[in-house]
């Protein structure tokens, strides 16, 4: 299945890109997706959103999902 | 309720007056509470900040703030909420965020305004990148609202 992946702020710097399209096997989780795009383990404070809703690394993905990885937020 | 995420600089006082005139109506509210967050020229021991870039997640940012405002309207007896948040390039003294809430009585407006800005600072997907003469850096965390934490602790003890 195809997943759209986005990276923001320092995560974009670390990954060297703002977004990418990833092909991944059926029943993959966010954690599986991370393993397929990154060489090291996910930083402990990473926030995850699937289709613009906060979730966690165990979240099961579906074809066409948009997944975002980003550091703690600092707005306001 | 209205939420705006924009690159353009804005005058928060003018925006509050215009919104109130258009949406609240004369004589309809007894309290209005406004929070305005502005850019300092120092932060976290770093002096001489020259500018800041505010990154965000287009789409999720607006969706998240709209939901928080709706939660506030559902939780407290308030009439309306209005939020503006800047993104992009920001200079010291610029307003970054405006949160305005209107209600019949002050307690509800204070509580709802604090709820919205605290959620926005800790959950809405924005990221600050500060610059001074030494270079640039991503800001790593927002300050904690100690009064809100005290209120939360008091509420837990009372329950």
Chain B contact present for A9, CB below 8 A: yes
In a domain? residue A10: yes
Domain range enclosing A48: 2-70
Specify the number of domains making up chain B: 1
Which sign, positive or negative, has the C-alpha torsion A34, A24, A61, A59?
Answer: negative
Specify the number of domains making up chain A: 1
Q: What is the pLDDT of residues B88-111, one digit of tens each?
A: 999 999 999 999 999 999 999 999
Nearest to B142 among A6, A9, A74 (CB): A74
Least confident of A38-42, B67-71, B77-81, B136-140: B136-140
| DSSP, residue by residue, B48-110 | ---EEEEEE-TTHHHHHHHHHHHHHHHHS-EEEEEEEEE-EEE-TT-EEEEEEEEESSHHHHH
The whole-angstrom separation of Cα B122 and Cα A72 is 8
Residues of A whose CB is below 8 A from B64: 52
Chain B contact present for A6, CB below 8 A: yes
Q: Which of A7, A44, A76 to mutate to test the interface with B (most CBs of B within 10 A)?
A: A76
State phi, psi for B39 to the nearest 5 degrees: -85, 125
Cross-chain Cβ contact B125/A74 below 8 Å: no
Domain range enclosing B133: 2-22+29-139
Residue B140 clears pLDDT 50, i.e. is over it: yes
The whole-angstrom separation of Cα B16 and Cα B20 is 6
Closest chain B CA to residue A19: B57
Q: Which of A7, A9, A46, A74 to mutate to test the interface with B (most CBs of B within 10 A)?
A: A74
Mean pLDDT on B139-147: 73
Mean pLDDT on B138-156: 68
Residues of B whose CB is below 8 A from A49: 57, 60, 125
In a domain? residue A76: no
Model confidence at B153, in pLDDT bands (50, 70, 90)?
A: low
Q: How far is A7 from chain B (nearest CA, A)?
A: 9
In a domain? residue A18: yes
Q: Residue B90 is part of a domain; what is its CATH number?
A: 3.90.1170.40
CB pairs under 8 A between A and B: 75
According to DSSP, the residues that pair with A67 across neighbouring strands are A5, A50
Residues in chain A: 76
Q: What is the pLDDT of residues A5-56, one digit of tens each?
A: 999 999 999 999 999 999 999 999 999 999 999 999 999 999 999 999 999 9
Instruction: Check residue B155 and give its pLDDT.
Output: 55
Instruction: Check residue B43 and give its pLDDT.
Output: 76
- Integer angstrom CA distances of residue B8 from A20, B20, B95, B96, B117: 29, 21, 11, 10, 20
In a domain? residue A61: yes
In a domain? residue A63: yes
In a domain? residue A43: yes
Least confident of A58-67, B8-17, B60-69, B135-144: B135-144
Q: What is the pLDDT of residues B16-68, one digit of tens each?
A: 999 999 999 888 899 999 999 999 888 777 777 888 999 999 999 999 999 99
Q: What is the pLDDT of residues B119-137, one digit of tens each?
A: 999 999 999 999 888 889 9
ipTM of the complex: 0.95
Instruction: Check residue B149 and give its pLDDT.
Output: 63
pTM of the model: 0.90
């Amino acid at each position: 299945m195809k997943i759209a992946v986005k990276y923001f702020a320092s995560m974009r710097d670390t990954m060297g890109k703002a977004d990418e399209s990833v092909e991944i096997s059926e029943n993959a989780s966010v954690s599986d997706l991370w393993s397929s795009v990154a060489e090291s383990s996910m930083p402990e404070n990473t926030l995850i959103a699937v289709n613009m809703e906060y979730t966690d690394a165990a979240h099961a993905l579906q074809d066409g999902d948009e997944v975002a990885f980003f550091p703690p937020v600092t707005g306001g | 309720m209205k939420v705006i995420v924009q690159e353009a600089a804005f005058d928060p006082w003018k925006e509050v007056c215009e919104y109130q005139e258009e949406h609240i109506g004369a004589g309809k509210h007894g309290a209005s509470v406004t929070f305005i967050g502005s850019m300092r020229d120092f932060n976290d021991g770093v002096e001489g900040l020259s500018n800041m870039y505010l990154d965000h997640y287009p789409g999720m940012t607006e969706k998240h703030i709209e939901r928080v405002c709706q939660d506030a309207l559902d939780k407290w007896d308030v009439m309306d909420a209005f939020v503006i948040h800047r993104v992009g390039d920001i200079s010291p003294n610029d307003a970054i965020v405006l949160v305005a809430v209107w209600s019949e009585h002050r307690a509800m407006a204070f509580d709802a305004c604090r709820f919205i800005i605290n959620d926005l600072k800790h959950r809405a997907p924005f990221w600050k990148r500060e610059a001074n003469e030494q270079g640039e850096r991503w800001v790593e965390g927002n300050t904690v609202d100690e009064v809100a934490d005290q209120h939360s602790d008091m509420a837990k003890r009372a329950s």
